[in-house]
Amino acid sequence: MSEEHGLTEDGKTVAPFPWLFVTKADRPQGCTGGGDIAIGNLRGLIIDQELATRLRREQVWKKEKGTKDGASPLFRNDIFSVRFDWRPTSCIKTFFDSTSMILHIDMDAFYASVEERDNPSLVGKPVIVGGSAESRGVVAAANYEARKFGVHSAMASGRARRLCPHAVVIKPRIDYYASVSRQIRDIFEQYTPLVEPLSLDEAFLDVTGSESLFGSSAEIGRLIKQRIRAELKLTASVGVATNKFVAKIASALKKPDGFVVVEAREIHAFLDPLPVGKLWGVGKVTGAVFERLRVRTIGQLRQMPLARLNELFGASGEHYWQLAHGIDDRRVVPDREAKSISNETTFAEDIADIEVLRAWLVELVEQVARRLRRHDLKGRTVELKVRFADFQTITRSMTLAKPTSITQELLDAGLELLTKRLPARHQLIRLLGFGVSKLDGSGKSQQTLFDQPDQTRQQELDRVADQITEKFGKRAIRRGTGIEKSDE
């Protein structure tokens, strides 16, 4: 490899380079034909995953006659930078692989587990984290002892107490849980910069480019799991697979403290026996249709023709078909690269109570606002996502006068969407989400003549709350919500 081929031997960053050449002598094992290489990821390098996925899907091969030394260009790349840790060209074969590797890491009963860790006398007892029955609270989290009695998150606290009257009920310490979540994220980011948080207690990690440094994706998953246990005294369940969908199912399969690896060649065997309800988007209504068709497993769904699924479910038919075949091309998108930042929660039981929904929205807004401030971002468009019991999904959005990351401003907009923009007579709600888009990282903000004193006060409140969360989690403060509630 020479400098004219786009790489240097001094270990420095070289980018962007228009072509990467591989000579016949450097050809990776298993490739045929004069050094021509199939499109794939560069193992050991952080690359543009969306480009790689598209090229793999189109099965693109690049050739160019008359190149120097009989070399063949691997693929055109005008859009990304790489850091190349120089190795002899004979080692180049270790960098080629066509498969991305994704981890889904999900903390086990996160809030309740943190409380048990901090108060060992709770271990072995049913623990419920949530508001009191008297204040119309809901369950934020329940440990596995409480779950044996039928208690689960999003359940009304009153009902939870009737199911398990001897449970220990603890008020949520959401800012403290956020500080623990930050410690978990710090561990993730020591293995890959490609971390996409879904909530305080779960995230996707793309470790494709980390395998040459830390071992296989499975080894990285085990290292992270072991470090979380050793350093934070908490357990996590880990799913390892070639895409997000399969990794997320894998992480939930053997909870708690689970670890499941699904290799690319095993995807169909892994998915086929699972109930069709495991597919994203299959709710009660869609599930009833499959039941009438006697399609009860993903394997049975996989045998259905795409045309038949489109006939039954319209645009969703192809979605079900792709998932049943284990196809999911979505890339892991870190907060800093995202075009929007959002969070959502799916309720174990459908909810109609507007006060309960309001409390859940407060939690979602606080998490999104913290993520914005962590990356010095502000957003101008606020979006509310609602999925009803029949799985119909709607979104409502509002564009603000200026970009913001102030929690109260985002919450005010979210509450208006929740209380004034939904259908007057809507069904029970299965999922609630909140997001912010049209992100601005310039650090500039437009001032108005009238709102600056209150805005300054709110910014100071957020700044202090963030500092308390990061440095003094055990003294964490909570935003008043009207009811005691928080999400796991």
pTM as predicted: 0.64
| Spatial contact of 205 and 191, defined as CB atoms under 8 Å apart | yes
On whether residue 331 sits in a domain, the answer given is no
Instruction: Report the pLDDT value the prediction gives residue 75, as an integer from 0 to 100.
Output: 34
| Residue 285 and residue 252 share a domain | no
Instruction: Report the pLDDT value the prediction gives residue 465, as an integer from 0 to 100.
Output: 63
Instruction: Report the pLDDT value the prediction gives residue 367, as an integer from 0 to 100.
Output: 86
On whether residue 485 sits in a domain, the answer given is no
Number of Cβ within a 10 Å radius of residue 293: 14
On whether residue 31 sits in a domain, the answer given is yes
Measured CA angle at 182 (ends 177, 187), to 5 deg: 130
| Spatial contact of 153 and 349, defined as CB atoms under 8 Å apart | no
Spot the catalytic one: 116, 202, 366, 488. Answer: 202
Active site residue 202: yes
| Residue 129 and residue 80 share a domain | no
On whether residue 32 sits in a domain, the answer given is yes
Domain count, the chain: 4
Which CATH number characterizes residue 312's domain?
1.10.150.20
Which CATH number characterizes residue 381's domain?
3.30.1490.100
Calculate the average pLDDT of the chain: 75
On whether residue 220 sits in a domain, the answer given is yes
Instruction: Report the pLDDT value the prediction gives residue 457, as an integer from 0 to 100.
Output: 60
Instruction: Report the pLDDT value the prediction gives residue 453, as an integer from 0 to 100.
Output: 52
| Residue 263 and residue 389 share a domain | no
Domain boundary among the residues 52, 72, 97 is at 97
Domain boundary among the residues 46, 73, 97 is at 97
| Residue 144 and residue 233 share a domain | yes
Instruction: Report the pLDDT value the prediction gives residue 211, as an integer from 0 to 100.
Output: 87
> Which two tokens mark 167?
């449970």
| Residue 120 and residue 92 share a domain | no
Candidates 377, 380, 389, 469; CA nearest to 432 is 389
| Residue 283 and residue 215 share a domain | no
258 vs 6: CA distance, rounded Å = 43
Low-confidence ranges of the chain (pLDDT < 50): 1-98, 446-451, 471-477, 482-488
Instruction: Report the pLDDT value the prediction gives residue 469, as an integer from 0 to 100.
Output: 52
63-99: per-residue pLDDT in tens?
Answer: 333 333 333 333 333 222 222 222 222 222 233 344 7
Number of Cβ within a 10 Å radius of residue 465: 21
| Residue 117 and residue 89 share a domain | no
| Residue 377 and residue 246 share a domain | no
- The strand order across the sheet containing 195-199 reads 195-199, 202-206, 102-107, 236-241, 259-261
First to last CA, the chain: 51
Domain boundary among the residues 97, 125, 141 is at 97
| Residue 388 and residue 304 share a domain | no
| Residue 220 and residue 159 share a domain | yes
| Residue 110 and residue 77 share a domain | no
Domain of residue 308: give its range: 277-324
| Residue 230 and residue 127 share a domain | yes
